[in-house]
Amino acid sequence: MININHLSKVYQTKKGEVSGVNNVSLTINEGEIYGIVGYSGAGKSSLVRCINLLERPTKGNITVDGVDLTKLKSEKLRQARLKIGMIFQHFNLVSQKTVFENIAFSLKAAKVPSNQIASRVEELLAMVGLSDKRDVYPGQLSGGQKQRVGIARALANDPKVLLCDEATSALDPTTTKSILQLLKKINKEMNITIVLITHEMDVVKEICHRMAIMQAGKVVEEGDVYEIFASPKNELTREFISSVISFDLPAPVLEKVTGTLVKVIFKGEIAGESIISDMVQKFKVKGNFLHGSIDYIQDAPLGIFVMELNGEKNEVSKAIQYIENRSAHVEVIKDGI
């Protein structure tokens, strides 16, 4: 669906050239929700703005639904952009226009026949749950309602791709959840490919299928969201994940640990099995849970536990091997033997 091939974006500033995106290549599949994560200045917003050529790449090319946008000019590019909707962090609504008029504006710009506009706007308002706000102005709406108008406007011309640039960053947690559920519904029912730019791992965990982590204009890790949460390879990725799932034990707790301290990761259905209790019965060790939880990513359980194992060295080693054979991963944090 979207192929980003060796893309770079360089900005000319008074202090010289600044690299926004540095040789990035990504493939985003049709119908998936793809998250691009990074701190401010990582290049994620520059990258997403290159996808619809709001920013023209310095090098490389962008292919969307088989069409290389970097080779299109004027009218053909405008037509191609109609199939790429975009929503923004600060909504970008016209304050002097009603909700109806804000959505209708996109249809008029696309030269949709005037006799078709009203019914299409009504359909979009119903889709985002704002039929009763048809004639109010943006200033009378909550942040979540404004973003719903932005989503309706972005969907007006039946796009195949929806770009979301920090679409929930200005919203409170409850409203964020409702907007994410709406995006998930749109993705499922309309098969729209969604590219979601964010610095919030909770957002990625909630709805994304795959993700890329960016730093200094480059992709430092990329893959399935569940697998990245289970086994992050890059230090920055681990830092992002720790903002959602933290297992740092307080110093006073660590000081009291005399045995072997391990972190155990259970994936999928294994997370619900009685592996630890089986291990304790099978080997001459005592297990002490210090921290743990089971999170759900795309409705699949991911269990992460920190525990202390006490016993003879040989028994502890066999117990760890037993857990590892039946789980995804065991990491020895502190060897107490």
The per-residue pLDDT for range 271-310, each reduced to its tens digit, is 556 778 888 888 888 888 888 888 888 778 888 888 889 8
Q: Establish whether domains 2-242 and 251-334 are of one fold.
A: no
The arithmetic mean of pLDDT across residues 215-244, rounded, is 91
pLDDT at 337: 54
Give yes or no for residue 2 having a pLDDT over 70.
yes
CA dist., res. 280 & res. 337, Å (int):
18
pLDDT at position 282 is 87
Asked if pLDDT for residue 317 goes beyond 70, the answer is yes
* Predicted TM-score (pTM) above 0.75: yes
Instruction: Check pLDDT > 90 for residue 329.
Output: no
pLDDT at 231 (0 to 100): 85
CATH number of 251-334: 3.30.70.260
The tens digit of pLDDT for each residue in 141-176 reads: 999 999 999 999 999 999 999 999 988 888 898 999
Give the 3-state secondary structure of the chain.
CEEEEEEEEEEEECCEEEEEEEEEEEEECCCCEEEEECCCCCCHHHHHHHHCCCCCCCEEEEEECCEEHHHCCHHHHHHHHCCEEEEECCCCCCCCCCHHHHHHHHHHHCCCCHHHHHHHHHHHHHHCCCHHHCCCCHHHCCHHHHHHHHHHHHHCCCCCEEEEECCCCCCCHHHHHHHHHHHHHHHHHHCCEEEEEECCHHHHHHHCCEEEEEECCEEEEEEEHHHHHHCCCCHHHHHHHHCCCCCCCCHHHHHCCCCEEEEEEEEHHHHHCCHHHHHHHHCCEEEEEEEEEEEEECCEEEEEEEEEEEECHHHHHHHHHHHHHHCCEEEEEECCC
Backbone φ, ψ for residue 111 (5° rounding): 65, 35
Residue 336 confidence (pLDDT): 66
- Model confidence pLDDT, tens digit, residues 23-43: 999 999 999 999 999 998 899
**Share above pLDDT 70 across residues of the chain, in percent, rounded to a whole number:** 96
Least confident of 88-92, 105-109, 327-331: 327-331
pLDDT single digits (tens) 166-221: 888 888 989 999 999 999 999 999 999 999 999 989 899 989 999 999 999 999 99
Cβ contact 179:147 at 8 Å: yes
For residue 260, with 0-12 CB atoms within 10 Å meaning exposed, 13-18 middle and 19 or more buried, which class applies? buried
pLDDT in the model for residue 258: 82
Averaged pLDDT, 57-65? 94
Instruction: State how far the Cα of 211 lies from the Cα of 197, in Å rounded to an integer.
Output: 10
Tell me yes or no: is domain 2-242 CATH 3.90.1150.200.
Answer: no
Q: Would you state the pLDDT for residue 272?
A: 52
Domain locations in the chain as residue ranges: 2-242, 251-334
* pLDDT band at 256; cut points 50, 70, 90: confident
Check whether 6 has a pLDDT greater than 80. yes
Mean pLDDT of the chain: 89
